Structure 1
Amino acid sequence: MLVLEYKLRGKQEQYERIDNAIRTALFVRNSCIRYWTDNQGIDKYKLSAYCKVLAKDFEWAGKLNSMARQASADRAWAAISRFYSNCKKQIPGKKGFPRFKRRGHSVEYKTTGYKLSEDRKYINLTDGFEIGKLELVGTHDLHFYQPNQIKRLRLVRRADGYYAQFIVDVERSIELEPTKQTLGLDVGLLHFYTDSNGNKAENPRFLRKAEKSLKRLQKRVSKKFKKGQKQSNNYKKARQKLARKHLKISRQRKDHAVKLARCVIQSSDLVAYEDLQVRNMVKNHKLAKSINDASWYQFREWLEYFGKVYGRATVAVAPHYTSQECSSCHRIVKKALSTRTHQCVCGAELCRDQNAALNILRKGLNTVGHTGINAWGETDRYLAEETTLDKSIR
């Protein structure tokens, strides 16, 4: 699936109607959660059927397109199925029991309720809310895809406006020449990552750099907030400025992760990295802000995505003892977090992070296997040819 995003340009009345559609979708989702809580044991299809009951009981809920109501029920079922999966896997701690959402930010249509113009530059929303015709502002060209390839449309509200996301059923695949290179990555806080060749990527620290302006904007919001009273327009404006600042930081993190992951994947045929449990690491309140600011998990997700797109191998390895083990003789050399140089009795002396990256690469190659031809970007055909050649030599 490919997601193409456009900014929506329209009138203020149309934006208000989009807000009504988003609130209705949130109501359907929460109602489905309530229906499941009162009648445990029902399945996905009964939740979808319950949407029709909601449309009859609430006139304003019936304005939302029928497939959009079903998409909201699908969101409720996604939370329920995730809870069932966590219980089945016996994950320690909280299992993620489905909860009601207070705020919604998007509404999703399937294949009806909207219509694209012939030039693919406008979209007309035709459900009961009568949102009407909106202009699509973006660089993607929808002419490359057939109308039946567009499986869903998602209207998203953000701090800087409204957006339309088209989910297109297409497999993205790009062929590259093999580089005959493998790479191990060790992420960190001092540097964003250090690879097995000793190269380092700087940690941008977007949140830390914007912290001063964020505090100033947060003070303005706090000063204009009136408890127990209707909030003024100045409060709403200050809140919008703060939200736009947070949105800018999140976009900076994403842009950094995307560009860095693409460069790493294009430069190597196999990339090995640590299978870090970031959710558990941020429980350390002294490092939680720095870990979240680094966005390691987002970088990993883009590594795996570009690995599929470019046909590269990506391997997640267990992080145990990668920093303590010597990459030369495999002895365990215990060191504190403040010790930045790895020194071993075998004579090995190198950067702590590079030593960890070498151990990660070795584990990744062992995971792929000793034959490992596919790790170099080769196809199964070449693997079969080499096997036949070995037999003929013997």
Structure 2
Amino acid sequence: MRTKAIFDISDPLLFKQQLLSWASSCEELVWLDSNKYPDKYQQYDAILAINAFTAIKTDTVEAFDKLKEYQQTTADWIFGYLSYDLKNDTEKLTSKNHDSLKFPELYFFQPQKLFLLKENKLEVQYLRMVDDEIDFDFTEINEIVIAEKVPEIQQKTISIQSRLSKEDYLYKVTEMLQHIHRGDIYEANFCQEFYAENIVLNPFHIFTELNEISNPPFASFLKLEDYYAMCASPERYIQKKGDTIISQPIKGTAARNTDPKIDVDNAQNLSEDIKERSENIMIADLVRNDLSKIAKKGSVKVERLCEVHSFKQVHQLISTISAELREEFAAVEVLKSTFPMGSMTGAPKISAMQIIEDLEETKRGLYSGAIGYFTPEADFDFNVVIRSILYNEDRKYASFSVGGAITAQSNPESEYEECMVKASAMRQVLGKFSD
């Protein structure tokens, strides 16, 4: 049983900064922040889970079955991630590409301490609490002084390298288009990695800056042992609340502009762009198909199709698909039936994943996987790990990847430019240390 307490928060924005700063040295930590983005499906403004009471860490072999057993055995809050390469557990696929990050394929933990922030109310839940520990921690958090600006990190210059040259990227996209023209696939998400070796980062400061310049609705900071994710994701993968399932795939991107008129035009042009809309509609249809495997008959609905959402860096097309879960399916089976998310694979899904594996240079790992949580009631909410910097502290290796949907209408040069737009926030954060 968890000991619970409720506190009134006078300045939620300041308190969020204090709370994350207070927790930043913990061995296990998951921080989820909506950045107050308007979202009627959002349960909390921010969540912090720290200090593992129990944990599960595994490779792809029977990973979802192991997670199902762990989730049902704990019957508690658990937090963690699913790597993209869990596709090898759901289908007869492999992952043989280069991997310098070396993250486990799946990692979840049951937190000893949990903080749930909604508007000006903070709910605190502790396992195995000592006397007055909640009150003591709450006082300590409120006494933290937040600097007005994140301090500069004093270290040697970081050299950011690309796993693919521009020429190689254009060649591989052309190969992808050949698959499409032959009818092997209709659409596939093709990604490329940028990386830095032999570096020492302060992940907390990196995340703070990345979140500041992006302000996305599904930001997350994850620390599990030496594995870090600094994630500024705008995309929800999937949410379960009771019997209702919601998925919100993103496909379709346009750059923001400092000129308000041009910016409005960019958003309007995106909403009317045939190529961008076709990307989104194909993936929305794929998600509908995935959800139909576990949904009550006739319950899968497209709530919103190709709706423009504007973020600090880009405009995006987002569709919202809902379904009612059939009683015989457990929570983890929803993930197993829909993973990896359609927005990061393509259509048909299995063929797209096979071609992606052949053409990409890097094992995706946590990139284009998901970070999120389960509640004691077996509800869950997971983001899509994009617009993220991943870091293995032990190996001193940092990585971020970007990609886009390739369809019959794709122009390789335009796809490359879209990747650079998506990479801008990560470059801006790490670029201050680059040559």
Q: Report the TM-score, using the length of structure 1 for normalisation.
A: 0.27
Q: Higher Cα Rg: structure 1 or 2?
A: 1
**Greater relative contact order: 1 or 2 (C-alpha under 8 angstroms, separation 6 or more)?**
2
Q: Which has the higher helix share?
A: 1
